[in-house]
Protein backbone atom coordinates (compact mmCIF):
# COMPACT_ATOMS: atom_id res chain seq x y z
CA UNK A 1 0.00 0.00 0.00
CA UNK A 2 1.31 3.44 -0.89
CA UNK A 3 -0.03 6.73 0.36
CA UNK A 4 0.73 10.31 1.18
CA UNK A 5 0.99 12.29 4.36
CA UNK A 6 -1.92 14.78 4.33
CA UNK A 7 0.12 17.55 5.86
CA UNK A 8 1.05 20.91 4.39
CA UNK A 9 4.27 20.86 6.42
CA UNK A 10 5.44 17.74 4.57
CA UNK A 11 4.59 19.27 1.20
CA UNK A 12 6.39 22.52 2.10
CA UNK A 13 9.47 20.55 3.14
CA UNK A 14 9.55 18.85 -0.26
CA UNK A 15 8.92 22.11 -2.15
CA UNK A 16 11.64 23.98 -0.25
CA UNK A 17 14.28 21.79 -1.86
CA UNK A 18 13.53 23.39 -5.23
CA UNK A 19 11.92 26.71 -4.19
CA UNK A 20 13.80 27.55 -0.98
CA UNK A 21 15.44 30.81 -2.06
CA UNK A 22 12.35 32.46 -3.59
CA UNK A 23 10.28 31.23 -0.62
CA UNK A 24 12.67 32.85 1.86
CA UNK A 25 12.80 36.11 -0.10
CA UNK A 26 8.99 36.22 -0.49
CA UNK A 27 8.69 35.63 3.27
CA UNK A 28 11.13 38.47 4.01
CA UNK A 29 9.37 40.82 1.57
CA UNK A 30 5.98 39.81 2.98
CA UNK A 31 7.14 40.57 6.52
CA UNK A 32 8.34 44.02 5.42
CA UNK A 33 5.03 44.71 3.64
CA UNK A 34 3.14 43.50 6.74
CA UNK A 35 5.11 45.86 8.99
CA UNK A 36 4.63 48.81 6.62
CA UNK A 37 0.89 48.18 6.29
CA UNK A 38 0.55 47.82 10.06
CA UNK A 39 2.41 51.08 10.55
CA UNK A 40 0.72 53.20 7.90
CA UNK A 41 -2.84 51.81 7.64
CA UNK A 42 -5.65 51.25 10.12
CA UNK A 43 -4.86 47.51 10.15
CA UNK A 44 -2.46 47.30 13.09
CA UNK A 45 -1.73 43.58 12.85
CA UNK A 46 1.75 42.06 12.84
CA UNK A 47 1.53 38.41 11.84
CA UNK A 48 3.73 36.32 14.14
CA UNK A 49 2.74 32.81 13.04
CA UNK A 50 6.01 31.77 11.40
CA UNK A 51 4.95 28.38 10.07
CA UNK A 52 1.91 29.94 8.37
CA UNK A 53 4.12 32.64 6.86
CA UNK A 54 6.51 29.99 5.56
CA UNK A 55 3.65 27.92 4.13
CA UNK A 56 2.11 30.96 2.40
CA UNK A 57 5.49 32.07 1.02
CA UNK A 58 6.24 28.62 -0.33
CA UNK A 59 2.79 28.28 -1.87
CA UNK A 60 3.17 31.71 -3.48
CA UNK A 61 6.61 30.83 -4.86
CA UNK A 62 5.44 27.53 -6.32
CA UNK A 63 2.32 29.04 -7.91
CA UNK A 64 4.05 32.10 -9.35
CA UNK A 65 7.04 30.16 -10.70
CA UNK A 66 4.77 27.43 -12.11
CA UNK A 67 2.67 30.14 -13.78
CA UNK A 68 5.76 31.25 -15.69
CA UNK A 69 6.97 34.25 -13.69
CA UNK A 70 10.32 32.62 -13.02
CA UNK A 71 12.17 33.00 -9.74
CA UNK A 72 13.34 36.59 -10.27
CA UNK A 73 12.55 39.85 -8.55
CA UNK A 74 9.02 40.05 -10.02
CA UNK A 75 8.01 36.82 -8.30
CA UNK A 76 9.59 37.92 -5.04
CA UNK A 77 7.98 41.37 -5.14
CA UNK A 78 4.53 40.19 -6.26
CA UNK A 79 4.59 37.24 -3.84
CA UNK A 80 5.77 39.47 -0.99
CA UNK A 81 3.08 42.08 -1.62
CA UNK A 82 0.43 39.34 -1.77
CA UNK A 83 1.68 37.70 1.41
CA UNK A 84 2.16 40.94 3.35
CA UNK A 85 -1.31 42.14 2.43
CA UNK A 86 -2.83 38.77 3.33
CA UNK A 87 -0.99 38.71 6.66
CA UNK A 88 -2.25 42.19 7.50
CA UNK A 89 -5.86 41.97 6.41
CA UNK A 90 -6.93 38.45 7.38
CA UNK A 91 -6.48 38.97 11.14
CA UNK A 92 -8.64 42.08 10.73
CA UNK A 93 -11.40 39.94 9.21
CA UNK A 94 -11.47 37.74 12.31
CA UNK A 95 -11.00 40.49 14.88
CA UNK A 96 -14.71 41.23 15.48
CA UNK A 97 -15.19 37.57 16.39
CA UNK A 98 -12.01 37.44 18.48
CA UNK A 99 -13.14 40.55 20.33
CA UNK A 100 -16.44 38.87 21.14
CA UNK A 101 -14.69 35.74 22.44
CA UNK A 102 -11.82 37.36 24.38
CA UNK A 103 -13.66 40.54 25.42
CA UNK A 104 -10.66 42.65 24.30
CA UNK A 105 -8.53 43.66 21.33
CA UNK A 106 -5.30 42.40 22.92
CA UNK A 107 -5.17 39.19 20.87
CA UNK A 108 -5.69 38.67 17.15
CA UNK A 109 -5.63 35.40 15.25
CA UNK A 110 -3.00 34.83 12.58
CA UNK A 111 -3.75 31.65 10.65
CA UNK A 112 -4.03 30.48 7.06
CA UNK A 113 -7.68 29.62 7.74
CA UNK A 114 -8.70 33.16 8.71
CA UNK A 115 -10.84 33.74 5.61
CA UNK A 116 -12.76 30.54 6.33
CA UNK A 117 -13.09 31.40 10.02
CA UNK A 118 -14.39 34.89 9.23
CA UNK A 119 -16.85 33.42 6.71
CA UNK A 120 -18.08 30.92 9.30
CA UNK A 121 -18.43 33.75 11.82
CA UNK A 122 -20.50 35.80 9.38
CA UNK A 123 -22.74 32.83 8.58
CA UNK A 124 -23.16 32.16 12.30
CA UNK A 125 -23.96 35.81 12.90
CA UNK A 126 -26.65 35.74 10.21
CA UNK A 127 -28.20 32.34 10.92
CA UNK A 128 -26.97 31.28 14.38
CA UNK A 129 -28.68 31.25 17.74
CA UNK A 130 -26.61 33.05 20.39
CA UNK A 131 -28.33 31.14 23.19
CA UNK A 132 -26.78 27.86 21.97
CA UNK A 133 -23.10 26.95 21.97
CA UNK A 134 -21.16 24.06 20.48
CA UNK A 135 -19.56 23.74 23.91
CA UNK A 136 -22.94 22.52 25.19
CA UNK A 137 -23.16 19.63 22.71
CA UNK A 138 -22.94 16.16 24.21
CA UNK A 139 -20.84 14.15 21.79
CA UNK A 140 -20.52 10.42 22.51
CA UNK A 141 -17.02 9.39 23.59
CA UNK A 142 -17.04 6.73 20.88
CA UNK A 143 -16.80 9.56 18.30
CA UNK A 144 -13.80 11.17 20.01
CA UNK A 145 -11.49 9.93 17.24
CA UNK A 146 -13.10 12.50 14.92
CA UNK A 147 -11.35 15.26 16.86
CA UNK A 148 -8.18 14.37 14.99
CA UNK A 149 -8.41 16.52 11.87
CA UNK A 150 -6.39 14.05 9.79
CA UNK A 151 -8.90 11.28 10.56
CA UNK A 152 -11.89 13.54 9.87
CA UNK A 153 -10.42 14.75 6.58
CA UNK A 154 -9.55 11.19 5.52
CA UNK A 155 -13.10 9.99 6.17
CA UNK A 156 -14.71 12.96 4.45
CA UNK A 157 -12.41 12.79 1.43
CA UNK A 158 -12.98 9.03 1.11
CA UNK A 159 -16.71 9.66 0.79
CA UNK A 160 -16.14 12.53 -1.67
CA UNK A 161 -13.75 10.46 -3.81
CA UNK A 162 -16.08 7.46 -3.98
CA UNK A 163 -19.03 9.70 -4.96
CA UNK A 164 -16.90 11.38 -7.65
CA UNK A 165 -15.64 8.01 -8.90
CA UNK A 166 -19.19 6.70 -9.22
CA UNK A 167 -20.33 9.92 -10.92
CA UNK A 168 -17.36 9.86 -13.32
CA UNK A 169 -17.80 6.20 -14.14
CA UNK A 170 -15.46 3.28 -14.52
CA UNK A 171 -14.59 3.67 -18.20
CA UNK A 172 -13.02 7.12 -17.88
CA UNK A 173 -11.10 6.41 -14.67
CA UNK A 174 -9.85 2.98 -15.76
CA UNK A 175 -8.79 4.19 -19.23
CA UNK A 176 -7.40 7.65 -18.38
CA UNK A 177 -6.31 7.66 -14.72
CA UNK A 178 -5.82 4.28 -13.07
CA UNK A 179 -4.14 2.23 -15.78
CA UNK A 180 -6.90 -0.36 -15.62
CA UNK A 181 -7.17 -0.60 -11.84
CA UNK A 182 -10.75 -0.81 -10.58
CA UNK A 183 -12.16 2.71 -10.49
CA UNK A 184 -13.41 2.50 -6.89
CA UNK A 185 -10.13 1.05 -5.59
CA UNK A 186 -8.09 3.68 -7.47
CA UNK A 187 -10.01 6.62 -6.02
pLDDT per residue as tens digits for the range 44-83: 999 888 888 999 999 999 999 999 988 899 999 999 999 9
Residues ≥6 apart with Cβ < 8 Å to 93: 114, 115, 118
Q: Which of 40, 135, 24, 121 is nearest to 80 (CA)?
A: 24
| pLDDT value for 3 | 64
Q: DSSP class of residue 176?
A: I
Contact 165, 184 (CB under 8 A): yes
Residue 5 has pLDDT above 70, yes or no: no
Exposed, middle or buried by CB within 10 Å (0-12, 13-18, 19+), for 97?
middle
* Global pTM value: 0.71
Distance of alpha carbon 65 from alpha carbon 71, whole angstroms: 6
What are phi and psi for residue 100, nearest 5 degrees? Answer: -65, -40
pLDDT tens digit string along 100-121?
Answer: 889 998 888 888 889 999 999 9
Percent of the chain with pLDDT over 70: 94
Amino acid sequence: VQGVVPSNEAVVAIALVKYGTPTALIMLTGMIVNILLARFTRFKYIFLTGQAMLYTSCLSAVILISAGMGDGWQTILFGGIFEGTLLTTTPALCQPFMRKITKSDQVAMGHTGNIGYASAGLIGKLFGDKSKSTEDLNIPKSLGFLRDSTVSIALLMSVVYVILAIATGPSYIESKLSGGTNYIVYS
